[in-house]
Structure 1
Amino acid sequence: MGEKLVEVKNVTKHFMINKKQRLTAVSNVSFDIYKGETFGLVGESGCGKSTIGRLLMRLYETTAGEIFFQGENIHARKSKEKEKLLYRKMQMIFQDPYSSLNPRMTVSDIIAEGLDIHQLVKNKKERQEKIDQLLEIVGLKPEDRNRYPHEFSGGQRQRIGIARALALEPDFIIADEPISALDASIQAQIVNLLKELQEQRGLTYLFIAHDLAMVKYISDRVGVMYLGKLVELAESEELYEQPLHPYTKALLSAIPLPDPRLERTREKIILKGEIPSPIDPPTGCRFHPRCPVKKEICVRLEPEWTEVKEGHIVLCHLYQ
């Protein structure tokens, strides 16, 4: 697979609701992201995928476990210079292009904020040239630099967010549901832009989404999350053709097929019940209350990771 860029090892994140109750957003999650790849992370709303993105960016601190970037533990204490360098190499594209851009700042100031903080431009001329270059890279015009976010459409605002993320020339970008707030026609444009930038700049992505069809298109490997747990991990083609976990099978059965005849005849897996509360998760396998093929062991014992075939790992008693 090549060089590991990101290593997530047994990471857990709790949020305290009050003195007695805690919400387990992420529970004992481990995976690696290799240099130059796109790692997709999918699951229903509230499964913990966005929390993982924020843990990687150190917007949250881990409750337990370790996260390494280029071999360095990002949650360990470092010198100010090392901290600055780390933040330059990792950037984030946020879900909502309407709330992630400061409405009081011009596009120029939004994109150059990182450049100013890290003092990466020598003068105003160099600053403007860099901004204009970034705007053109993401498909906007240099004259857009003096406009404000409210003057742009959702797709254009997300392009501004991408330009901001590129300004510091990062190695790794976390895209936290970057297309979910956009129209379907614009979603494809943004995803194609991300793919082009990856090819041109050798970027590595963590692509967080709940649109399974889009994740298949952009990702090299995919991890599936359910109620704070990573339940399956495999190469994209392998996962979509041979899903193993009952939850993954249910998710994939919900993707509509373009051929109406095939769509009418194929079996859809309808999950019963609601997602349990992360404040009080079920015993044993977290999916067992909704699983159509659960066994007695699933209720009382938590499953362990099983590598069914090389690179295809699943958290399920059916394969142990």
Structure 2
Amino acid sequence: MAEQGKKKPLVQVEGLKRHFQVGGGKTLKAVDDVSFEIYPGETFGLVGESGCGKSTLGRTLIRLYDATDGKVLFDGEDVHGTKSKTELKALTRRIQMIFQDPYASLNQRMNVEDIIAEGMDAHGLAKNRAERTKRVVELLETVGLNAEHAKRFPHEFSGGQRQRIGIARALAVDPDFIIADEPISALDVSIQAQVVNLLQKLQRERGLTYLFIAHDLSMVKHISDRIGVMYLGGMVELATSDDLFEEPLHPYTQALLTAIPIPDPRLERERKRQLLQGDLPSPIDPPSGCRFRTRCPFATEHCKNKAPEWREVRPNHWVACHLYGSESDRAAMKA
């Protein structure tokens, strides 16, 4: 895990917003005032229910979406600042993305060699055809495939193999930071661990930094140094992986964790679950005050009237909840 006290962040997200106009004068606030940092060599896990804004956040970091407001700094450079084509090209070489659906994200008309080499071609990383092919074969072997796969097409591979091709494509330009957007959710459970182990191996060998987006909390714990929990476009809790699982503070995080099955049948029967009430509200018309209050067992009138502050309540443990707010907020919760 990265030593935060001794390293400066590789990625700094400050008050990031990504809103979409959806017609009728309404605004969908997919990402709304999110702040966090990612340090060199670490894996930052991002979790939450479907529709909470995780993937939109990841795509905004890499500038597939423009930010509505706020900043994304990569190695001190503003990702969304005005840039020349040359500057953008240099930036995209250092930041790559692995997508959720390994079938949809690969061009079915291109063979594997051309898919993997596309980034190399764009950045002029191979001097000639022979060097290009040699590099592609090395990448295939790195991700557990072989040279004979280079001339095949995506439809000839299993889901796990296609995701390995996607990983090889991301590695082809020697990036520093990889955004993995639910890279295992479309795969069989038996293959998921293999892909996660491959990502960890590559991280150790190449010093990569990851943003790992997922909704499977147990897998996120396995791979992540720190974890951020998103709900309805906002971050509600952020802590080290161990702290988050040993002592979750936000009621939403607590509910997510109690939903993870325990392999011991007796413990599974005896433990108390914290069930979420109702459905996820629409990000077009979110609740006033605390966005989680409509599903929270501890919500009071104070939660309706005031949004909680994002606070560091313990060393490296941040939460947005009035239960851990200022003295006046805590007093209002008890009133």
Aligned to 1:186: 191
Q: Deviations over 1:8-28 (max 9, x none)?
A: 000111111114111110110
State TM-score, norm by structure 2.
0.95
Aligned to 2:103: 98
Q: 2:258 aligns with which of 250, 253, 257?
A: 253
In the alignment, residue 268 of structure 2 is paired with which amino acid?
E
Runs of 4+ in 1 over 2 A off after TM superposition: none
Q: 1:152 aligns with which of 157, 164, 182?
A: 157
Aligned to 1:262: 267
Aligned to 1:109: 114
Aligned to 2:32: 27
- Counterpart CA distance in 1 for 2:61 and 2:69 is 13
Q: 1:46 aligns with which of 43, 47, 51?
A: 51
- Counterpart CA distance in 2 for 1:291 and 1:115 is 49
- Counterpart CA distance in 2 for 1:210 and 1:13 is 20
Deviation at residue 80 of structure 1 after TM alignment: 2.3
Whether 1:223 aligns to 2:223 is no
Deviation at residue 285 of structure 1 after TM alignment: 0.1
The alignment yields a C-alpha RMSD, in angstroms, of 0.6
State TM-score, norm by structure 1.
0.99
In the alignment, residue 80 of structure 1 is paired with which amino acid?
K
Whether 1:305 aligns to 2:310 is yes
- Counterpart CA distance in 1 for 2:80 and 2:190 is 39
Gaps of 5+ in 1: none
- Counterpart CA distance in 1 for 2:171 and 2:302 is 48
SS in 2 for 1:252: helix
In the alignment, residue 161 of structure 2 is paired with which amino acid?
Q
Aligned residues: 320
More displaced 10-residue stretch of structure 1: 163-172 or 19-28: 19-28
Gaps of 5+ in 2: 326-335
Q: Give % identity.
A: 65
- Counterpart CA distance in 1 for 2:254 and 2:283 is 22
Aligned to 2:211: 206
- Counterpart CA distance in 2 for 1:14 and 1:83 is 23
Q: Deviations over 1:175-226 (max 9, x none)?
A: 0000000000100000000000000000000000000000000000000000
Aligned to 1:57: 62
In the alignment, residue 183 of structure 1 is paired with which amino acid?
D
In the alignment, residue 56 of structure 1 is paired with which amino acid?
L
Aligned to 1:75: 80
